[in-house]
Chains A and B, each alone.
Chain A
Amino acid sequence: MGFLEKQTDPTSPMHWRGDMQADYFYPSGIAGDKFFKHLMEKDTFLATKCKPCNKILFPPRLYCEDCFEEITEDDWMEVPASGKVKLFTKATINAHGVKMEEPKVIALIDIDNTDGAMLGIIKTNELDKDFSGVKVKAVLRPKGNREGTLKDILYWQVI
C-alpha cells in the first residue's frame, strides 16, 4: 500500500509482539545474608547494636545510619521473632489492583528488644479490629523449606 492508497483493512498492519527479559536479582548483602542464613536455621531474628547511639538496629546493618559507626562482630545479637503493631492497614485490592476475595491486614511491626520495625501480614479473622499495639509473633516456614528470603515469614499471628 502506497501513501496515497486507502487503508481499508484495519487489521492488516502487523504488530511485533515480544517479551522483554528484565530479570531482577537482589543479593541480600553482607548483613542481610547473615540475617537470612540465621533465619533459615533458627526461629529468631538477628539485630545489630550501635554502641555510641545506644540503639539496636533492625534489620541488622553493617554501619549505623545515624552516626556511621561501624558495626563489629560483637555487636550482633539475637532477638525474638515477635513484636508490637505500630501501624496497620486493611488491603482489599492486590498488587494488580484487583479486588481480593479476602482482605489482608498489613502492618508495620516494632520488633521486640529493638528500635527497628518491619512490614508483615497479620493473619486474622477479625478484619475490622483495631490492631494498634497488639502483640504479634512471626509464623515461619517449616525448617528445611526455608529459602533465605522474606517469604520465609509466612505471616504474623496475634498472641
Chain B
Amino acid sequence: MVEKKEYKEWPPYAPGTHVRESDIREKKITYSWWEPEVQYSWSVGHAMSKFLQGLKDGKLYGIHCKTCKRVIVPPRMFCEYCFGPTEEWVELKDTGEIETFSISYLDADARRIEEPILVGVVSIDGAYPKPMGFMHYFGEMTKDEIKIGMKVKAVWKPENEREGSITDIKYFKPLKGGSE
C-alpha cells in the first residue's frame, strides 16, 4: 500500500520553468522542431476576382445594387441588405475619406515598434452609403496629423510589381487641397 504524501500547498509542488528564447538559441534545452507544410488555396469568388484584377490594373471597382441604391466596395455578388443580385460594375476613384484609424505600436507580427504604423478604414469616393470601403495603411502623415474625415488618395505600387492583391495599394496618403 502506497502512503499518500501530504502537500500543504495547493496546487501541489510542481517543478518546472518557462522556456526562454535564449534557452532555445543557446541550445540549453533539447527540443523537437517541426514545420508542417500547410498550404491553402482560397477561391476568392467572381466579385473579388474582378476587384483584385482591377487592383492589378490600378483601378478600384465597386458594384451597384439598384434596389437599395448602394455602390458596394469590396464588391459582392449579392446585396447583403436585400439579398438581390448586384448588377452593374462601377469604376471608383482611388480617393476617399478616413472613416476610422488606429495608431499601432505593434507590427503585423505583434512585435513592439518605435515608429507607429497607421491603419484604418477608408470610405472610397463614389461608393455609398457611407461608410463604405475597406481597411488599409496610411502613410506620408504623422500620428499627430491623422484625423477622421481626412481626404486621402491611394499610393500604388509600380505596375510591374502589382500582383492582384490588396497590397497593390501601398498605403493612402493625404490628398492635399480637398477632393480631386
| Interface positions of A (Cβ within 8 A of B) | 1-4, 7, 12-28, 30, 32-33, 36-37, 40, 52-53, 62, 67, 69-70, 147-150
Does B142 touch A at the CB level, under 8 Å? no
| Contact with B35, one of A7, A23, A40 (Cβ below 8 angstroms) | A23
B43: chain A residues within 8 A (beta carbon)? 13-16
Which residues of A sit under 8 angstroms from B78, Cβ to Cβ? 3
A62 to B38, CA, bound (A): 35
**Which B residues lie within 8 Å of A37 (CB)?**
30
State the Cβ distance, B178 to closest chain A Cβ, in Å: 33
Contacting pair B33 A23 (CB below 8 A): yes
Chain A residues contacting B45 (CB-CB under 8 Å) are: 13
Q: What is B's interface to A at a CB cutoff of 8 Å?
A: 2-3, 5, 15-16, 19, 24, 27, 29-46, 48-50, 52-53, 63, 77-78, 85-89, 164
A3 touches B36 (CB 8 A): no
A70 / chain B contacts, CB cutoff of 8 Å: 5
Compute the total of residue contacts between A and B using a CB distance below 8 Å: 106
| Chain B residue with the shortest CB-CB distance to A17 | B41
Q: Which residues on the A side are within 8 Å of B46 (C-beta)?
A: 1, 7, 13
* Chain A residue contacts of B48, Cβ below 8 A: 14
- Asked whether, in the complex, the Cβ of A24 is within 8 Å of the Cβ of B44, the reply is no
Q: Inside 8 A of A40's CB, which chain B residues have their CB?
A: 30
A104 nearest CB across to chain B (Å)? 20
Q: How far is the CA of A69 from the CA of B2 in the complex (A)?
A: 9
Contacts of A52 in B (CB 8 A): 2-3
Looking across the interface, which residue of chain A has its beta carbon closest to that of B37? A19
Query: Are B31 and A14 in contact, CB atoms less than 8 angstroms apart?
Result: no
Residues of B within 8 A of A19 (CB): 37-40
Q: What A residues does B50 contact at CB under 8 A?
A: 1
Which 5 A-B pairs give the minimum distances between C-beta atoms?
A3-B85, A148-B30, A20-B38, A36-B30, A24-B34
A66 vs chain B, min Cβ distance (A): 9
- Given A16-B43, A28-B31, 13 further pairs, Cβ under 8 A: A2-B89, A14-B43, A14-B52, A15-B42, A20-B39, A22-B38, A26-B31, A27-B19, A27-B30, A30-B15, A33-B29, A36-B30, A53-B2
A62 to chain B, nearest CB (A): 7
In the bound complex, CA of A113 to CA of B35 (Å): 36
Determine if B36 and A24 form an interchain contact, defined as CB atoms under 8 angstroms apart.
yes
